[in-house]
Amino acid sequence: MINLAGRDILHAWGKFVFTGVGLGLLIGVTLTMAGVYRGMVDDARVLLDNSAADLWVVQKDTLGPYAEPSSLYDDVYRGILGMPGVARAANVTYFTMQVRQGTRDVRTMVVGVVPGGPGEPGQPGYLVAGRRIARSHYEAVADVVTGFRLGERIQIRRDYYTVIGLTRRMVSSNGDPMVFIPLKDAQEAQFLKDNDAILQQRRRTLANPALNRPGVPGLAEAVIASQAKNPYVNAVLVQVKPGHLPQEVAERISRWKRLQVYTRAQMDAILVGKLIATSARQIGMFLVILAIVSAAIVAFIIYTLTLGKIREIAVLKLIGTKNRTIAGMILQQALGLGAIGFAVGKVAATFWAPVFPKYVLLEPGDAVLGFFAVMAICVLASLVAIRAALQVDPAEAIGG
């Protein structure tokens, strides 16, 4: 027996290829959407991995530091360092802002880290170029996505920093590339808005008779100096000594002070489950809509092609073709269309993924799942056409 579906596809290949490419681009978008989600999850995990932390100590009753603002006194870490089971503890700050390089503004997540050697929590785990932050002022390590290069000077608020190292795959949950600077600079930059704000603050302090008393010289200056200091950080990253369970150390720290402590698993759940959840739902909606649109396209095309063959189908039935053979022919055409579409979509997604602004992680498992979803959609979409074909009366081939 010859394959009727295959012969029809070869005969009308233009229609199939044209529709297949259109469908394929849709499938490509679908695969990319899934890849964007995977990329977000992966980014989050890389972010956690590169923090080199076992525990995140944040403000009580917050989901900080990534999902909610969190604020701690910058001396809390000393107390934590003294606790049993704690190997290292380091302050860290995070804030999103524009970083200026030459005439260019780049939206980044600025991370304040404690200068130090490898293994210090907070600093990026690996660099693609340059060295780690060793001095406590005006050095920066930037993610390559920022476009900054080694030796370039960048401006964060009032101050200039020299790029001394480059890292990779360090982005916030919003996809902003990270720029690491020394903690003290970061605290200051986070606290001080800009020159204007400082001048205004200063003016207000001097204008306040309670703070600027003629009888107490130096009081106003002392107040201004204290106002200019920022004693807060967003989180303390903790490394646990070998042989200690992170969970136990976490409980000890949270009992000690009114602090919230998250383990790696809990942080993962917050990032993936809460922060990315909205995006995931959005992407999920897109996937559902794309699936419906794809199904509609396949159904419409297969139905139209089938209606165009009603007389041939009547003749085929009249000369004794089984209903099953005719249904199989239509089903195979739908699957053929799906296969063309999937191939086009996979190739398209692979080609355009690298130029996407967000990290797109195309997982083979998703592709396999996508393939079966496409095939299932094609089966469903062919049902209307199959129904129409089965209703064709073989008597229609004989004149009225």
Partner 1 sequence: MAGKGIRIERLRKRYGAGDTAVDALKDVNMQVAAGEVVGLIGPSGSGKSTLLKCLGAVIEPSAGRMVLGDEVIYDDGWKIGDLRTLRRDKIGFIFQAPYLIPFLDVVDNVALLPMLAGRSNTESRHLALELLEALGVAHRARGMPSQLSGGEQQRVSIARALVNRPPVILADEPTAPLDGERALGVIRILNHMARQYQTAIIVVTHDEKIIPTFKRIYHIRDGRTEEEVGQGVAFE
Q: What are the residues binding partner 1 (CB under 8 A)?
A: 1-2, 4, 7-8, 10-12, 311-312, 315-322, 325, 393-395, 397-400
Which residue in 167, 90, 163, 97 sits closest to 126, CA to CA?
167
Q: Measure CA of the first residue to CA of the last residue in the chain; give whole Å.
A: 32
Which residue in 109, 173, 113, 174 sits closest to 143, CA to CA?
109
CB of 20 to partner 1, least distance (A): 17
CA distance linking residue 209 with residue 380, whole number of Å = 79
CA–CA distances in Å: residue 244 to residues 85, 86, 91, 249, 377: 6, 9, 21, 7, 51
CB of 384 to partner 1, least distance (A): 21
CB of 9 to partner 1, least distance (A): 8
CB of 378 to partner 1, least distance (A): 20
Q: Which is nearer to partner 1, 11 or 387 (CB)?
A: 11
Output the six-digit token pair for 276.
Answer: 């990315």
Q: Which is nearer to partner 1, 175 or 394 (CB)?
A: 394
The SS3 of residue 200 is helix
Q: Which is nearer to partner 1, 2 or 225 (CB)?
A: 2
CB of 147 to partner 1, least distance (A): 55
CB of 13 to partner 1, least distance (A): 10
CB of 297 to partner 1, least distance (A): 22
| Residue 5 · residue 332 · CB < 8 Å | yes
Output the six-digit token pair for 177.
Answer: 């590339």
Instruction: Name 139's bridge partners.
Output: 162
CB of 273 to partner 1, least distance (A): 53
CA distance linking residue 236 with residue 228, whole number of Å = 22
CA distance linking residue 334 with residue 330, whole number of Å = 6
Q: Which is nearer to partner 1, 363 or 396 (CB)?
A: 396
Q: Which is nearer to partner 1, 9 or 90 (CB)?
A: 9
User: Residue 334 is which amino acid?
Assistant: A
Q: Which is nearer to partner 1, 258 or 324 (CB)?
A: 324
Q: Which is nearer to partner 1, 2 or 355 (CB)?
A: 2
Q: How far is CA 36 from the centre of its chain?
A: 6
Q: How would you classify residue 165: left for phi > 0, otherwise alpha for psi between -120 and 50, otherwise beta?
A: beta
Q: Which is nearer to partner 1, 6 or 118 (CB)?
A: 6
